[in-house]
Structure 1
Amino acid sequence: MSPGSEELLDCGNMTDVNNTYGNTTNSTCGGDFNQFIMPWWRQVVWTLIYIALVIVATGGNLIVIWIVLAHKQMRTITNFFLVNLAVSDCMMSLMNITFNFVYFLNSHWPFGEAYCKIVQFVSVLSVTASVFTLVAISVDRYSAIMHPLKPRMSRSWTLLVTIIIWVMSAVLAAPNYLLSQTYTFVYNDGDIRTLCYLTWPDGETMESTLEAVYNGAIFVLTYFLPLTATTYCYTRMSVELWGSQSIGEATPVQIESVNSKRRVVKMMIVLVAIFAVCWLPYQVYFLVIPLFSELTHEPIVQEVFLGIYWLAMSNSMYNPIIYYWMNSRFRMGFQRVFRCAGRIPQGNAAPQYRQRSSHQTTRVTMSDLKSCTATATNGTAGRTGTELALLHNSASKLNGRSNNV
């Protein structure tokens, strides 16, 4: 509900003008003017903030989808779930954020009743799909780390789990589609305001018992239980990866395997933690406001809610940033997009090779080799042609180990 909606719904001297089109009701309210209109400069500030959110969230998640689907070596089970997460985040940024922001900024819904139903449905569908996907990833990682001898989830099972996620999300979001309506009010000064909100069978919003039950169920099913499950899984995995010690001396292959799993778990813990922080104020708001409905009459509630809503929606733009920061394969993919370059090479994003001498170990990357080749061609190479040939020959005999998710 838009801040201040209850004010009009409870307007004591509101008179029905008997002008109803479909489910859209037009009424006259005795209020003098719409108090939820901010000064222009504050509207500009909020608009810029939300524009940046939509651009980063949409662009970042589309790049994530491309990185995984366009490169065969990136098509792992975990990465397929990350694509599902990116799809839900794109749905949120493209179909929800912009339209709701306009509504919350002006306290007026100009997009018609059909899209009122759609945006209310998508708002729950997308976040539910996101959190259920995070749970699926944690279960998959838990199985791989805690029960390494058991077969991993196949691609067909991954597809089935993804379908189940979206079906369950659609079921939870269905009341938003079925019960959403638009109501139009006319102020004494002739200003028109349209609301987009849910009408419950047992009463108006803020007074409905069914609404309170639904909001409580959404909190439990899309926030409390998923975070409890993921916290349990990642706690057990962390104890296994950082707290246990192998019997005897670990081989380099075993060490690299453990380190790779640690990197993935750390990244997923960051994803879940940021999700929890971003969505907590939003969840609390809809649990508390029905108990203190008088707060919706205060003009400041509009900007408070815009801040809370931005924080919740900003979760959709953080995930690509986290992938770039914590995973070299995704980092290389993003860099390739930014440079409009080719595909991700097989193996590591920046495959690292080691050239051993009697005195030291030198870390050499493929970018070093390319740089040496280019400079040698120009006659300014720091290494001689013989050294470069030996280095390239040594590198070609080794396989870079992947740390993909």
Structure 2
Amino acid sequence: MCSLAASDVLVTVFSVPFTVLSNLVFMYWPFGPFLCPVISLLQLMVNLLRALTLVAMTCDRYFVITKPFSQRLTLKQAKLVIAGIWSFSFLFSLPVAIFSKIVYLPYEPGSKGLCFEVWSNESLRRVYGIVIMLIQYFIPLLLMFLTFSHIAVIVWTKRTPGEANKKRDERRGRSKKRMLQMLIIIVLNYFLSWLPFHVISIVGDVHPSIYDSMSMHVLWALAHLLSISNSATNAGIYYWRNRTYRVAFQNLWKCSQLIQGR
């Protein structure tokens, strides 16, 4: 959960302001040639990080519910998994940094330049884009759908072996259902937030001419903003569905009010 929260913060820092300013305010890349590859790398990295973290959380919940008496990951093993996810996300995003640069449009005299990926091999770029789409969207959704379907069957229809106390059984059952419901909502939120962006990307790969329209440029920017808004809506879901998160947030708010009062 901490890794997912960290990725949400990184999305807010590196994706939202740069996307809004470059695509909707200035309509060009105003941050210079150095930040073009850096921000491109970080944006893809945090998106991969969020998708893989969701998969890791799903797998953890799956093993906890399907094998309640098996040993869980130790803190050291969990840290290694998180480190592996971060390392893979960074290394897999490196080609974006390598091929991203400022491009000045020839049909716009005086163009101030846009931050684009410029690949020498167009076929390789398409393959890389498809692999990113699979890793960041379709494969995680498929894995989460399969695991949650199995978890739902276990939680709602089966009784955990060894639980003989009725009140304790009901309490644990309610806790498991609340956790499962929250994770399902998070996954649905991820699916719906990223769907328009990937639909535009798939159609654009088949018919690149759609990007010649200014309305499509705005539509792509809005779809991009919708996808990264997933980080903000996740916080609302945590507050709505997780009592511990809600109490912690309320305590933090009270502390901030006390500090301001002083």
TM-score surpassing 0.5?
yes
Q: Could you say what secondary structure the match of 1:181 adopts?
A: strand
Which protein, 1 or 2, shows the higher relative CO under an 8 Å CA cutoff with sep ≥ 6?
A: 2
- 1:192 and 2:116 correspond: no
Contact between 2:103 and 2:113, CA under 8 Å: does it hold in 1? yes
Is the Cα contact below 8 Å between 1:181 and 1:199 reproduced in 2? yes
Does the 8 A contact of 2:9 with 2:231 survive in 1? yes
The counterpart of 2:57, out of the listed 137, 154, 164, is 137
Report if the CA contact (8 A) 2:19-2:225 is conserved.
no
Number of residue-to-residue matches in the alignment: 255
1:170 CA displacement: 1.1
Cα RMSD after superposing both structures: 1.9
Q: Show the counterpart of 1:96.
A: 15
In 2: Cα distance, 1:265 partner to 1:212 partner: 36
Per the normalisation by structure 2, the TM-score is 0.91
The partner residue of 2:253 within 325, 331, 338 is: 338
Distance 2:16 2:70 in 1: 42
Contact 2:15 2:228 survives alignment (8 Å): no
Change (3 A) 1:304 1:185: closer
Amino acid at match of 1:268: L
Q: Are 2:100 and 1:180 equivalent residues in the alignment?
A: yes
CA distance in 2, matches of 1:246, 1:176: 47
Alignment-mate amino acid for residue 114 of structure 2: L
Identical-pair percentage = 26
Maintained 8 Å contact 1:128/1:222: yes
More strand by share: 1
How far did 1:222 drift? 1.2
1:167 has 2:81 as partner: no
CA contact (8 A) 1:183 1:195 kept: yes
Aligned to 2:223: 308
Shift of 1:303: 2.1
- Does the CA-based 8 Å contact 1:113-1:182 persist in structure 2? yes
What does 1:340-379 align with in structure 2 at a 5 Å threshold? 340=255
- Corresponding residue number in structure 2 for 1:46: none
1:319 CA displacement: 1.2
Q: Which amino acid aligns with 1:179?
A: F
The corresponding residue for 2:260 is none
Give me the TM-score of the superposition, normalised by structure 1.
0.60
Kept after mapping to 2: 8 A contact 1:132/1:226: yes
**1:192 Cα deviation after fit:** 3.1
Distance 1:306 1:262 in 2: 37
Distance in 2 (CA, whole Å) between partners of 1:185 and 1:240 is: 57
The structure number with the bigger radius of gyration is: 1
Secondary structure of 1:340's match?
helix
Q: Distance in 2 between matches of 1:333 and 1:246?
A: 30
Deviates more, 1:266-275 or 1:294-303: 294-303
Structure 2 Cα separation of the partners of residues 261 and 296 of structure 1: 46
Indicate whether 1:273 and 2:188 are aligned: yes
* Greater per-residue helix proportion: 2
CA contact (8 A) 1:107 1:193 kept: no
Deviations 1:94-151 (A, max 9, x none): 1222112211123311111110001110111001000100111111111111001101
* Superposition map of 1:261-300 within 5 A: 261-300=176-215
* Structure 1: unaligned runs, 5 residues or longer: 1-81, 203-207, 343-405
Contact 1:215–1:287 (CA<8 Å) still a contact in 2?
no
Q: What is the alpha-carbon distance in structure 2 between the residues aligned to residue 186 and residue 285 of structure 1?
A: 24
Structure 1 contact 186–193 (Cα < 8 Å) conserved = no
Structure 2: gaps (5+ residues): 258-262
